[in-house]
Amino acid sequence: MPAAETRVRNARLADASAISKITAGYAGQGIMLKRPVENIIEDIRNFFVSEYQGGVTGCCAIAFYTERLAEIRSVAVLEEFKGAGIGRLLVQKAESVLTEEGVREVFVLTLNPGFFGRMGYTEIEKEYFPQKIWRDCTNCPKLMACDEIAMVKKL
């Protein structure tokens, strides 16, 4: 399945269950936090999905912290579509929207630094993003043993 046949678009309410299912697979492996459908519905306007032959194959979301700083999160692709360039398309869409909004710096917390490194992100200390730590990390079960790597990119 070539990435050229994949469409990336803004998520719609009807996509919430598919997004939850995709992210649940990663959450089950301890790779990302579980995102219940209700939480996804609340943030649906911040999600993007990839679509192939009418089905949702991947997702990602953005979160704004300041007028100049945002995060790309919940990047996930169905197992059978991994390696097809869909994750890259999703991140590029998110970066494009963030650039349009005037965001100058974007960060990720990831267990896959190679993927983001190939997209121009560089490693940085998590403490550089105190907004993230206070907003999200304090509720994470991995708080005291976080294994995610913080990476940043100037837009």
Q: What is the pLDDT of residues 55-86, one digit of tens each?
A: 999 999 999 989 999 999 999 999 999 999 99
Can you give the residue range of the structural domain that contains 32?
A: 3-154
Residue 139 confidence (pLDDT) above 90: no
**Res. 135: pLDDT tops 60:** no
pLDDT per residue as tens digits for the range 21-46: 999 999 888 888 788 899 999 999 99
Confidence band, pLDDT 50/70/90 cuts, at residue 3: low
Write out the E strands in 3-127: 7-10, 47-52, 55-64, 69-77, 105-110, 122-124
Give yes or no for residue 134 having a pLDDT over 90. no
- What's the DSSP call for residue 18? H
The side-by-side arrangement of strands in the sheet containing 122-124 is 7-10, 47-52, 55-64, 69-77, 105-110, 149-154, 122-124
Cα–Cα dist 92/98, whole Å: 10
| Tally of domains within the chain | 1
Query: The CATH number of the domain where 127 resides is what?
Result: 3.40.630.30
| Mean pLDDT of the residues in the chain | 89
> Given this model, what pLDDT does residue 111 score?
87
